[in-house]
Amino acid sequence: MITRVYAVSTPTMENTVPAGDRVFLAPGSGIRRGDVVVLRVPVAVSDTNGIFVKRVIGLPGDHVACCDSRGRVTVNGRPLSENYLYPGDPPSRITFSARLGPGQIWVLGDRRNISADSRTWAAVPVSGVVGRVVLVNHGFSFTALHTPRTFATDGLAPADTRLDVYLVLALMTAGSLLALVVLAITGVILLTIRGRRSRHRPPLADPPLPDPPLPAEA
């Protein structure tokens, strides 16, 4: 089922999740490499109690590093072909190499040049994950997020078969929300029309006086 819907206010996951879009989250702890997640990062690490949208690059026990001889991020020595990155952004301008401990994940934003992520924070607790993003809503269009091909090709994640049921549920949820919005807009329009009609209606004239009674015949 879809657990929550969040509005994204920052551009650090563009172009996968542009600022202003809404994301639909699925529950569960089965986070895989390549997943986009909404998570909380400890205040002592991020200096804020807000939430973030990031991509999971490494899981507990992984060795994540950047950069190899071709400037790529590697996971357990396997280079990633990150075609989801924001156009023109390199995999990282910051070098790193980390072995993740139990309960730790490594997250990066897709817009690497402006993203605050594990390159600044180091590994973050997987317990902070609020949910996995399965659907991105922009206006009246929806985009389902799949595991990027590079993770499946390199054996870092299985083929993604999780999306079908979540996609249906998310669209049902979105349809319900849209119906509520339409009803609300319709109500506002009707009230506006009635108000305008009442303002432009001419005032009622005083009722005519009754005719005087006829004199009685003699």
Residue with tokens 């305008």: 196
Q: What percent of the chain has pLDDT over 70?
A: 73
Going by pLDDT thresholds of 50, 70 and 90, the confidence category of residue 214 is very low
Residue with tokens 């985009």: 143
Please count the other Cβ atoms lying within 10 Å of the Cβ belonging to residue 85.
23
pLDDT at 89 over 90: yes
Kindly state the tokens that stand for 48: 């804020």
Q: Write down the pTM of the prediction.
A: 0.75
Position 73: which residue type?
Answer: V
Q: Rank 19-28, 109-118, 130-139 by mean pLDDT and report only the highest.
A: 109-118
Please count the other Cβ atoms lying within 10 Å of the Cβ belonging to residue 57.
25
Kindly state the tokens that stand for 32: 């895989």
pLDDT at 98 over 90: yes
Query: Average pLDDT of 53-65?
Result: 98
* Closest by Cα among 196, 142, 206, 197 to 2: 142
11-33 pLDDT per residue, tens: 999 999 999 999 999 876 689 99
Query: Taking a C-beta distance cutoff of 8 angstroms, is the pair 193, 180 a contact?
Result: no
Radius of gyration of the chain (CA): 29
Please report, in angstroms and rounded to a whole number, the separation of the first and last CA atoms in the chain.
Answer: 94
The topology (CATH level 3) of 4-57+103-176 is Umud Fragment, subunit A (2.10.109)
Kindly state the tokens that stand for 66: 């950047």
List all residues 6 or more positions away from 27 whose beta carbon is below 8 Å from its beta carbon: 1, 3, 131
Going by pLDDT thresholds of 50, 70 and 90, the confidence category of residue 208 is very low
Prior bond to 66 cis, omega within 30?
no
Query: Taking a C-beta distance cutoff of 8 angstroms, is the pair 163, 24 a contact?
Result: no
CA distances from 145 to 5, 84, 97, 153, 216 (A): 15, 11, 28, 17, 94
